[in-house]
Amino acid sequence: MYQDLVLATDGSEGAAQATEHAIELAYRLESTLHILSVAEEGPHSTEKRDEMRTDAESDAEAAVAEAERAAADVGIEVTTTILDGVPQDEIVGFADEQGMDMIIVGTVGRSGLDKLVVGSVAEEVIQNASVPVVTVRESEAE
């Protein structure tokens, strides 16, 4: 039922926590994990660190490589993809076009004015995806 899982990652702490969950799910379900990162440029960037980016594509490559290494450590089958565009649109489009069974994405749990101004990639994915979406909320370090 869940043979192809897509993990959307941007290399953030929330994405790292989502990666752990995605790897565990893929391992237990004996699924292929499709790791996706979207290189986003311009004023629609959702992470504060995007303001300091000089090369969104290399950041996306690093995020994918990090998740791929973690998945390789447990021996699950992995594919990697880097796309350019608006993250929520590319994630949903990828899942639809590639016939994914589930999307796993991290979220920082913004609320209030911050959410209104910045928006939420995870929320947009949830609203527009045609497959189940697992969100992993970023937890504070203890």
Residues 6+ apart with CB under 8 A from 8: 15, 18, 36, 37, 38, 87, 91, 103, 104, 105, 106, 121, 125
Has residue 83 been placed in a domain? Answer: yes
- Residue range 107-140, pLDDT digits in tens: 875 555 544 444 588 999 999 999 999 999 877 5
The tally of domains found in the chain comes to 1
Indicate which CATH number applies to the domain containing 123: 3.40.50.620
3-state SS, residue 122: helix
Whole-angstrom distance, CA of residue 92 vs CA of residue 71: 22
**What amino acid is encoded at 135 in this protein?**
T
The pLDDT-based confidence of 48 (bands split at 50, 70, 90) is: very low
Which pLDDT does position 14 carry in this prediction? 87
- pLDDT of 84 > 60? The answer is yes
Has residue 142 been placed in a domain? Answer: no
Which pLDDT does position 119 carry in this prediction? 53
Cβ neighbourhood burial of 35 (10 Å; 0-12, 13-18, 19+): buried
H helix intervals, 10-55: 13-29
- Residue range 54-71, pLDDT digits in tens: 588 899 999 999 999 999
Across the chain, what does the average pLDDT equal?
Answer: 85
Residue 75's domain spans which residues?
A: 4-137
Which pLDDT does position 109 carry in this prediction? 56
- pLDDT of 5 > 70? The answer is yes
Residues in the chain: 142
